[in-house]
Structure 1
Amino acid sequence: MEESNREFDPDYSENLLTLEQLQEIKGNYLLEFGAPWCGHCQSAFSATEELLNETPDLKHIKIYDGKGKKLGRIFGVKLWPTFIFMKNNNEVARVVRPTNIQQLREIIKV
């Protein structure tokens, strides 16, 4: 599992992260489901980086999603990138294919 809370990680983790491992994470975190070749994911890159620079205590977990990847199906991910803000292991808000930083800021304010 690749987890960052101090700097932006540009790479999606291909490690097989399980739901049980996610449930062990304490506090708030931002899940990002996507793929490195996805144009929408690449477009969201700078907004994501900016958000994480503004909120250095927010854990960020990038998950490589795709066919046969169970975690994305568990979270109902259908389009990339999908960002899910988690608080105490509960989904609080999500945004799909954000086009600007304000859309990302909105989900972590909830």
Structure 2
Amino acid sequence: MQTRYSETAPDRAELDALGGPVLVEFGTNWCGFCRAAQAPLAQAYADHPEVRHVKVEDGPGRRLGRSFGVKLWPTLVFMRDGKELARVVRPVDAGEIADGFARIDPPAA
């Protein structure tokens, strides 16, 4: 799990081309909502360590966030094989984040 939002973002085409499960998280390092979401995110992420985590700083002029229609921080976009399967905006508990992970990385049968 990434702990800081990266100032550099991949291109949307790069994310769409990734295989397997990916969590794309939009926010900023100074955002109070983003900081509050980190403990429940870490709790939910613990069961899915193989999921790639792309943590991107968002804001005015940031094209990647606009391409996903991000309006509030943090926004968690759960993708599998380049397709968005779930989204959680301003999560407050690990359960709603775990639901997103379940959509992209279901438990083994």
Query: Is TM-score (shorter-chain normalized) higher than 0.5?
Result: yes
Instruction: Give the Å deviation of 1:51.
Output: 1.8
Cα deviation code 1:42-100 (max 9, x no counterpart)? 00011111222221111111010000000000000000000010011000010100000
Please, which runs of 5 or more residues in structure 1 have no aligned partner? 1-7
Matches of residues 26-41 of structure 1 in structure 2 within 5 Å? 26-41=19-34
Task: Say yes or no: does 1:55 pair with 2:16.
Answer: no
Matches of residues 5-44 of structure 1 in structure 2 within 5 Å? 8-44=1-37
Aligned identity (percent) is: 39
Check the 8 A contact 2:25/2:77 in 1, yes or no. Answer: yes
Report the count of equivalent residues. Answer: 103
TM-score (normalised: structure 2): 0.89
Instruction: Give the Å deviation of 1:16.
Output: 3.2
Please, which runs of 5 or more residues in structure 2 have no aligned partner? 104-109
- List structure 1 runs of 4+ shifted beyond 6 angstroms: none
Aligned to 1:103: 96
Check the 8 A contact 2:16/2:83 in 1, yes or no. Answer: no
Q: Distance in 1 between matches of 2:49 and 2:9?
A: 25
